[in-house]
Amino acid sequence: MRLVAASTLTPDELADVRQIYFDGFEPHLRAPFDDLLADTALVLVDSRPLGLAVLRVLGGTGWVYLRYFTVGEKGRGLGEHLWTHLRVAMTGAGHTRIIYDVEDPAQPGIDPAEERIRHRRIAFYRRLGAVLLPVNGYLPPEGSAGHPMLLMAADYVAQTPAAADDLGRIVVAVYEHRYGIAPSDPVVTRTLRLSGVSHAG
């Protein structure tokens, strides 16, 4: 298996990647597929596409934001393969941390099956070394049907401070460089306040 840029794939291979993407995310969580190619879209391939990861560099922080991460066949360990290849690629590119959001299992009104799926997703990332960050009130301006999400992060190299102790900078970086929201925007300052972080340092 290897990781390649989506831009290097044939139209038929891209069609397979599109299907993996559509199968992996509910409609309210999807961006238009062509928009993904404007970011760093990487595909795990063997004889055919097996998984997709889409990332965006978070300004000059040295971090990347994982927009999408999915594989075509569950239960084969492909998620771990994709994560491992992604870690190698991002470390090689000089990135020290990966940050992403996940749906909250405690969201009111979801059914028990969806709650279990969300718990399993978080457990999967934790097994791979990620941590669930103590960020409260994080609300992406698009997707997730307007519901608050949870933030997770994994450090690719040993750092000081660790992700869990660097909340202010992480919150600001995600809002600013993922969504184009200024640090002074009320949604950012509200998230910082609810998370007990008074500044981005």
Parts of the chain with a pLDDT under 70: 142-146, 160, 198-201
According to the model, what pLDDT value does residue 144 have? 45
Phi, psi for 157 (deg, rounded to 5) = -135, 155
Q: Strand 131-132 to strand 97-103: parallel, antiparallel, or no bridges (unpaired)?
A: unpaired
Secondary structure element (H or E) that encloses residue 64, with its range = strand 63-71
Nearest to 130 by CA among 69, 74, 181: 69
Cα separation, 97 vs 76, in Å, equals 26
